[in-house]
Chain A
Amino acid sequence: MDFTEKEFTEIIKDNEGRLKHLSRTYADRIDEEDDIYQEIIVQIWRSLPSYNGKAHIDTWVYRLAINTAISFARKKKTRRNYYSQLKKEKESQKGRDHKYSDSNEDKRVITLYDAISELNASEKAIITMYLEDFTYEEIAFVTDITENYVGVKLHRIKNKLSNIIKEENGA
């Protein structure tokens, strides 16, 4: 399918909020959020000609965005530095000088992102789609699992998140 620049911009605007949240979910640092978001935009532009209309455009865009965010990890040049630094951050963190800290942001949002960061790439994808009000059918389309399994997986992820949040609140 052919898309004009205007149509492309509209697609980005319509999905802006979700894509920003997704970038934040998969970023390990604040400075990566911008890089992931920009990479997603470029991938959407490059892949739009292959959109075949089988799924709703927003669902298709989200699937592409998730894969792009996952792929971003592979390209990280300083992965070795990241692991040793992250370990130091986690071990020494007491005052919650968190990577997403923003004095105006609800602490519960930070806690939620903190908890989500403990999940694996698939768990992140499913829970963010749930939080963004995607249907089970749409989640199944993105992840390539059946709708029944989406429910099962979501249940497990919610329990895992609940335990992580309880641990963090208790810490």
Chain B
Amino acid sequence: MELNELKNVWKQQSSNHNLDYSQSELMMLINNQMISLEKEIKSRDRIEFIACLFLIVCFGIILFTTNSVWKQVGSVTIVLSGIFIWYKLKYTQHRSFDKKPSPDRPMREYLKLEAESVEKQKKLLQNIAWWYIAPICLGLFFFALGLDSGFTKKLLYMIVVIVTGGLVWWMNQRAVKQKFDPLLKEIKEAIKFLEED
């Protein structure tokens, strides 16, 4: 195919008639999409809130019913971690990521904002050890010290906590490598193409 044929070939392509919408269908589509997006955000917020509430309630009860100082310290640490994680997700991640730039901006500007957004998401996952895993693991360690069991069982418990924390960390780093790095590379390539001489 020669270059001068490109336009002719382009114009000859068949139309996707699955995407032909009447006015009423268009408005129904828009309403459905808006409702669906709202539901998705609410559902995500609800799940995070419930997870946090579960931690607070469970360890809150233990805090007030246990005589072990270590269990109390562990419970307080976990409750505070739960609140912090919920805050981090809701007010940092969601405020940044849900505030999308308007797509009617010039493409070059929009690509840069997209790159920024992906970098933020990537950083959040890269730092997950500090704001998510470490606080909870620390709380669980303190809790383990207060368990009514022998040293070996406590040690085993702590090993399980470390391994689980490590697995969560590894899975998130894998997501960074497999999801965010390729996406960032694509966006940066697109920006570079527009900006290079």
Chain A residues proximal to chain B, CB less than 8 Å? 5-6, 8-9, 12, 16-17, 20-21, 23-24, 33-34, 37-39, 41-43, 45, 47, 50-51, 60, 63-64, 66-68, 70-71, 73-74, 79-80, 83, 102, 104-106, 108-109, 111-112, 120-123, 125, 130-133, 141-145, 153, 158, 161-162, 165, 169
| Apart from A20-B16, A34-B18, A70-B107, 15 more pairs, CB < 8 Å | A8-B26, A20-B19, A42-B30, A70-B111, A71-B100, A79-B183, A105-B14, A106-B13, A109-B14, A112-B1, A131-B10, A133-B7, A145-B194, A153-B193, A158-B3
Chain B 59-81 per-residue mask, 1 if CB under 8 angstroms from chain A, else 0: 00000000000000000000000
State whether B104 touches A67 (Cβ < 8 A): yes
Of all chain A residues, which has the CB nearest B109?
A: A144
Q: Is the CB of B107 within 8 A of A125?
A: yes
Minimum C-beta distance from B160 to chain A (A): 27
Q: Are A122 and B118 in contact (CB under 8 A)?
A: no
Q: How far is the CA of A45 from the CA of B3 in the complex (A)?
A: 36
Question: In this assembly, does B89 line the interface, its C-beta being within 8 Å of a C-beta of chain A?
Answer: no
Which of B45-53, B129-137, B151-159, B184-192 participates in binding chain A? B184-192
The distance in angstroms between the C-alpha atoms of A45 and B186, with both chains bound, is 28
Within 8 A of A (CB), among B89-132: 100, 102-111, 114, 117-118
Point out the residue from B10, B100, B103, B179 that lies within 8 Å of A79, measured CB to CB: B179
B14 to chain A: closest CB distance in Å? 6
Query: Do B111 and A122 have beta carbons less than 8 Å apart?
Result: yes
Q: Does B29 contact A (CB under 8 A)?
A: yes
| CB-CB contacts below 8 Å: B13-42 with A | 13-16, 18-23, 26-27, 29-30, 33-34
Interface extent on B, as a size class?
A: 35 or more
Chain B's nearest CB lies how many Å from the CB of A170? 12
Give the Cβ gap from A121 to chain B, nearest Cβ, in Å.
Answer: 4
Q: Contact at B178–A144, with CB atoms within 8 Å?
A: no
The reply to whether A120 and B10 form a contact with Cβ atoms under 8 Å apart is no
Tell me if A20 and B183 are in contact (CB < 8 A): no
List 10 A-B pairs, minimum CB-CB distance, nearest first: A144-B106, A67-B103, A121-B190, A144-B108, A122-B190, A131-B10, A9-B23, A122-B193, A80-B178, A67-B110
Partner of A143, one of B1, B19, B114, B194: B194
Distance of A20 Cα from B21 Cα, bound (Å):
12
Known: A47-B103, A111-B1. A24 touches B190 (CB 8 A): no
Is A74 touching B26 in the complex (CB atoms < 8 A)?
no
Are A145's CB and B26's CB within 8 A?
A: no
- In the bound complex, do residue B186 and residue A73 qualify as a contact, i.e. CB atoms below 8 Å apart? yes
Bound complex: CA A89 to CA B39 (Å)? 35
Known: A67-B110, A109-B9. A50 touches B104 (CB 8 A): yes
CB nearest neighbor in A for B37: A42
Question: Complex: how many Å from CA A158 to CA B4?
Answer: 10
B182 & A83 in contact (Cβ 8 Å cutoff): yes
Chain A residues, Cβ within 8 Å of B22: 9
